[in-house]
Structure 1
Amino acid sequence: MTSSPPLLRAHGLHKSFGDRSVLRGVDLEASQGTATALLGPSGSGKTTLLRCLNALDVPESGIVSIADVEVDFDRLPASGRGREAILRGLRAQSGMVFQQHHLFPHLTALQNIIEGPVTAQRRPRDEAVAEGRALLAQVGLGDREDAYPSQLSGGQQQRVGIARALAITPRVVLFDEPTSALDPEIVGEVLAVIRDLASQGWTMLIVTHEVRFAEAVADQVLFLDDGVVIERGTPAQVIGDPERERTRRFLRRVLNPGVE
């Protein structure tokens, strides 16, 4: 019996900003229904990798494929409508949850969630509203659909952001340090939602410094340093028994701050 091909695959991704090379030949595979945690120090390329998978940042070279959509960035047109159509096709495959939730301040929680399905995907409004309400209930905010972002806590706003990403029915959900901007007291409520999504079989990539959370939720862990994946494997391998001294040093500092 042969295994199914990965739902998401990236090969040879290179991305620079000016003279600074941020990604230097990154490879990544993720199977459907799995959670992948991306660990590493600040500036290692984790966020840029997510943004390249979603084509928010366009790599100089490499290939990204999600389901049956593949983009070879070496052959991407330099400009024009053809280029934009290709990038839109890739972006449509994934939903992004940012460090800052980026909700529209003039829209209610429900209106923020249905904006993408109604405006971008042209789905019937009644259908989008029903699904939006179900998503709000799923993230524990069924009673806050009429609340504006200013009336919600940071954790609640981030949970609306998660529901908004799910509303477009993406094949992959990309989380860019979803708890980094939150007060420590409310980090747990957002992590609980992500844990629930993992149990439901969503395919997720999660950039996080919450190492113990990654250890509990992820099927695979990638450790990035200086734009390169230097270690990959199961949480037991990468977090529990890392091979590389750079990984061990990072984990010591994150898990035991102030202790070398």
Structure 2
Amino acid sequence: MTEDRVVADGLYKAFGDNEVLKGVSFRVAAGSVTTIIGPSGSGKTTLLRALNALDVPDAGTVCIGDVSVDFAKPVSKDELRRYRMQSGFVFQSHNLFPHKTVLQNVTEGPIVVQKQPRQEAEAAAVQLLEQVGLAEKRDQYPYQLSGGQQQRVGIARALALRPKVVLFDEPTSALDPELVGEVLSVIKDLAVEGWTLVVVTHEIQFARQVSNQVLFTDRGVILEQGPPDAVIGDPKEERTRQFLQRILNPL
């Protein structure tokens, strides 16, 4: 039986009067791919950011690997730091350090956060850059790269921390259409290698191809979840059907 790598239970998050997450619960098996789909404003990105505590939940518990946090109680800085180290985050718009080279961007976390020796961190970073097809760009700066290449550096940076789960926030939404494929290809390769991935995406066919589990969110709740053939291929909820109809048949 596959162990659960992520267990989220009863997550709530509000910004002022706007309740964005309303008691969200789900599990992610180790070595699996979970995609989160849904309309804009449905809470997808907030849910992902809550898993990394970039947006600290107001209530609920999350367990990643063997680190568990109950957000209804005060959480110390040390607890939060240890919890955040369990996951890597890939942002929509890369968020690379513009004044650092590609190699320096990838080694920043291992050296500064995890206190790895520089030589060890750089050797691992070069391997990761080879994995995402950018080893020859190691000494270049972000402005010298295409958007797709920057996003692949962002993926390598997240992997460098050897996290228990990698979180992707709409990793292709800021890219020109012709660059989308190169980033999705890297994510597919990571899935094949057995990384545990949670991906917020509008790429429905990608979600169908790589997911073990699809979550459909709407108005702060998970309305439907299950394997892609069920949620995307044969949704039970009328709201899910409406959403997929608009995405897959826009005209």
- Is structure 2 residue 215 aligned with structure 1 residue 217? no
For 2:247, the aligned partner's letter is: V
Query: How far apart, CA to CA, are the structure 2 residues paired with 1:243 and 1:6?
Result: 25
Q: Of 227, 239, 248, which residue of structure 2 is paired with 1:246?
A: 239
- Is structure 2 residue 196 aligned with structure 1 residue 237? no
| DSSP-derived class of the 1:240 partner | coil
Query: How far apart, CA to CA, are the structure 1 residues paired with 2:212 and 2:3?
Result: 16
Query: How far apart, CA to CA, are the structure 1 residues paired with 2:65 and 2:190?
Result: 19
The answer to whether the Cα contact below 8 Å between 2:32 and 2:197 also exists between their aligned partners in 1 is yes
The answer to whether the Cα contact below 8 Å between 2:50 and 2:56 also exists between their aligned partners in 1 is yes
* 1:176 match: 169
Unaligned runs of 5+ in 2: none
- Is structure 2 residue 52 aligned with structure 1 residue 54? yes
For 2:87, the aligned partner's letter is: S
Query: How far apart, CA to CA, are the structure 2 residues paired with 1:74 and 1:150?
Result: 42
- Is structure 2 residue 157 aligned with structure 1 residue 164? yes
- Is structure 2 residue 192 aligned with structure 1 residue 199? yes
* 2:85 match: 92
User: 1:135-155 deviations in whole A, cap 9, x for unaligned?
Assistant: 000001111101100000000
Please state how far the C-alpha of 1:257 moved relative to its aligned partner: 1.1
* 2:109 match: 116
- Is structure 2 residue 123 aligned with structure 1 residue 133? no
* 1:34 match: 32
Query: How far apart, CA to CA, are the structure 1 residues paired with 2:158 and 2:148?
Result: 15
Please state how far the C-alpha of 1:89 moved relative to its aligned partner: 1.2
- Is structure 2 residue 2 aligned with structure 1 residue 9? no
Please state how far the C-alpha of 1:18 moved relative to its aligned partner: 0.3
For 1:62, the aligned partner's letter is: G
User: 1:82-136 deviations in whole A, cap 9, x for unaligned?
Assistant: x111111110000000001010111110110000000111001000000000000
Identity %: 61
Please state how far the C-alpha of 1:66 moved relative to its aligned partner: 0.4
Query: How far apart, CA to CA, are the structure 2 residues paired with 1:195 and 1:166?
Result: 14
Please state how far the C-alpha of 1:76 moved relative to its aligned partner: 2.2
Query: How far apart, CA to CA, are the structure 2 residues paired with 1:139 and 1:201?
Result: 16
Please state how far the C-alpha of 1:5 moved relative to its aligned partner: 3.6
Please state how far the C-alpha of 1:4 moved relative to its aligned partner: 4.3
User: 1:35-85 deviations in whole A, cap 9, x for unaligned?
Assistant: 0000000010010011111011111110000011000111224xxxxx111
For 2:32, the aligned partner's letter is: T
* Cα-Cα RMSD: 0.7
- Is structure 2 residue 115 aligned with structure 1 residue 105? no
Q: State the TM-score, normalized to the length of structure 2.
A: 0.99
User: 1:159-203 deviations in whole A, cap 9, x for unaligned?
Assistant: 000000000000000000000000000000000000000000000
Bigger mean CA offset, 170-179 vs 5-14: 5-14
Q: State the TM-score, normalized to the length of structure 1.
A: 0.95
User: 1:6-27 deviations in whole A, cap 9, x for unaligned?
Assistant: 1100000000000000000000
After TM superposition, where is structure 1 displaced by more than 3 Å over at least 4 residues in a row? Answer: none
Unaligned runs of 5+ in 1: 78-82
